[in-house]
Amino acid sequence: MTGKHIKPTESELEILSILWEKGPCTVREVHDILSETKDAGYTTTLKLMQIMHEKELLERDTSSKTHVYKAAVSQEKTQQQLLNKMIDTVFGGSASKLVLQALGHHRSSEAELDQIRQYLSEMEKQQKR
């Protein structure tokens, strides 16, 4: 079993997000961050991170007394897998429907819109080749 093909649950994604942002952390550090937004017990966080290690979503450094965990899957690959699944299941395989839905319901900054325009322009150039 490899972490590359496992779809993380919502709770596992929350933990991965913390590790992607902060880098390697102890269970206590992850739990303290989770506790700011949700009511979860320390032992629940510990158990979840142990399961994630077994599923190869996390790597664990046991060289010190306090185990340090880090994400074993890349943020970009995980986002791509989840996005592909969402496009297939929720938007009938249409990436453009997803984009239109996202742009229609979230306020984008001028910089983000410029970035989107630039990306679309690059896509058009590549399709003309």
All domains of the chain in start order, with CATH = 3-71 (1.10.10.10), 75-128 (no CATH)
Evaluate if residue 80 carries a pLDDT over 60. yes
Calculate Rg over the CA atoms of the chain: 18
Confidence label for 5 from pLDDT (cuts 50, 70 and 90): low
Evaluate if residue 2 carries a pLDDT over 70. no
pLDDT score recorded for residue 1: 41
Cα separation, 79 vs 4, in Å, equals 12
Confidence label for 43 from pLDDT (cuts 50, 70 and 90): very high
More confident residue, 59 or 102: 59
Cα separation, 36 vs 6, in Å, equals 27
pLDDT in tens, 118-128: 988 998 888 88
Evaluate if residue 108 carries a pLDDT over 90. no
Evaluate if residue 94 carries a pLDDT over 50. yes
Cα separation, 3 vs 57, in Å, equals 5
pLDDT score recorded for residue 3: 42
Dihedral angle over CA of 76, 79, 81, 87, nearest 10: -140
Percentage of the chain beyond pLDDT 70 is 96
